[in-house]
């Protein structure tokens, strides 16, 4: 991986479960690390779906980040925030199983 291509800053959030005052179990997201996470960001297209009176737009992106112990446990229940937009992680790929880089396949769903 060429370091110069990791030119965008992302924030990673991990999901945990919390209980509200009514006893309901709800997902809560906390930032994985306060350290800067540099990423290569690639657009992977998108789509639009019509559901009733709403239009659902999906934006797909691929984030490549450097592997480290602080991001070792990231998985599909976690999130990436980039440029103020929140992306759901669909897949985490440890490229070549070499612990050098992680590829995060993500999407963002917008309903209008």
Is the per-residue pLDDT at 80 higher than 90?
Answer: yes
Name the more confident of 56 and 93. 93
Exposure string of 20-52, with b = 16+ CB inside 10 Å and e = fewer, is eeeeeeeeeeeebeeeebebbbeeeeeeeeeee
What is the set of domains in the chain, with CATH numbers? 3-111 (2.40.10.270)
Please report the pLDDT score of residue 1 as a whole number: 65
What are 43's two structure tokens? 């657009």
Which tens digit of pLDDT belongs to each residue from 9-26? 999 999 999 899 999 999
The C-alpha atoms of residue 95 and residue 33 are separated, in whole angstroms, by: 22
Strand partners, 65: 39, 102
């Amino acid at each position: 991986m060429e370091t110069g291509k990791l030119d965008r800053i992302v924030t990673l959030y991990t999901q945990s479960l919390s209980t509200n005052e009514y006893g309901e179990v709800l997902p809560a997201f906390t930032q994985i690390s306060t350290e800067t996470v540099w990423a290569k960001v690639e657009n992977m297209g998108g789509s639009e779906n019509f559901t009733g009176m709403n239009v659902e737009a999906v934006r797909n992106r691929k984030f490549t980040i450097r592997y480290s112990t602080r991001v070792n446990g990231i998985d599909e229940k976690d999130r990436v925030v980039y440029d103020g937009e929140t992306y759901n992680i669909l897949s985490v790929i440890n490229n070549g199983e070499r612990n050098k880089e992680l590829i995060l396949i993500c999407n963002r769903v917008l309903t209008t």
